[in-house]
Amino acid sequence: MNANLKVLVIDDDAVVGRSFDRVLSDKGYDVSMALSGEEALETMNDSEFDVVFTDIKMPGMDGLEVTERIKERCPWTPVVVITGYGTDDNEARAAVLGASGFVRKPLTPEMIESVTLKAVNDADVVSEVAEIHAEPEAVSEIAAQAGSDAKRIAKNVGLFFAAPFIALGYVIALPFVGFYTFAKLGREAWAKKQASK
């Protein structure tokens, strides 16, 4: 089933590439390895890949920049980010750049196989939708879903960066609100006292 599917693994740790090779070669995938983002982009000049895996933390070009460059050149190629330094910020940024997945190390053989299969299947769905025979309603529905996902991710990233400023606004406003409330209560008490005279 996977006989002609080509996988590129980009990681400065050769052991990670060998792990992918050991797991996926047995399943019929053709696995290539690159030790840097620059090497990977050169490799992609000569070959097309069905799935690309990239580490985030590498010397030179990091995995998020690699993802961005690959998606600019080959937007249809699924890119899965793998990392031992996973953060929500990195995951959100990877999603915004178009990564098909974000997987944290350590990786088990089962994880490698299932993430590869998911990326291939997702790419197949996108290819089917892009075919001429695709129905316009299905294409618009998928486009709307992708658009709403991108908006949701952008909103979450925006809130992530805005949260400290919102909190600071509350801290600054709190004394003024307290002073206003205290003054209002004092004025009402004074008005009641004057009315009772």
Average pLDDT value over all residues in the chain: 81
Helix then strand then coil, % of the chain, to nearest 5? 65, 10, 25
pLDDT digits (tens, 9 = 90+) for 22-66: 999 988 899 999 999 999 999 999 889 999 999 998 988 999 999
Between 127 and 113, residue with greater pLDDT: 113
pLDDT digits (tens, 9 = 90+) for 62-84: 999 999 999 999 888 999 999 88
- 6-132 CATH, one of 3.90.550.10, 3.30.565.10, 3.30.70.100, 3.40.50.2300: 3.40.50.2300
The pair of three-digit structure tokens given for residue 165, joined into one six-digit string: 């400023």
CA-CA distance, 147 to 85, in Å (whole number)? 28
pLDDT digits (tens, 9 = 90+) for 133-148: 445 555 566 566 666 6
Single pTM value for the model: 0.61
Output the pLDDT for position 130: 43
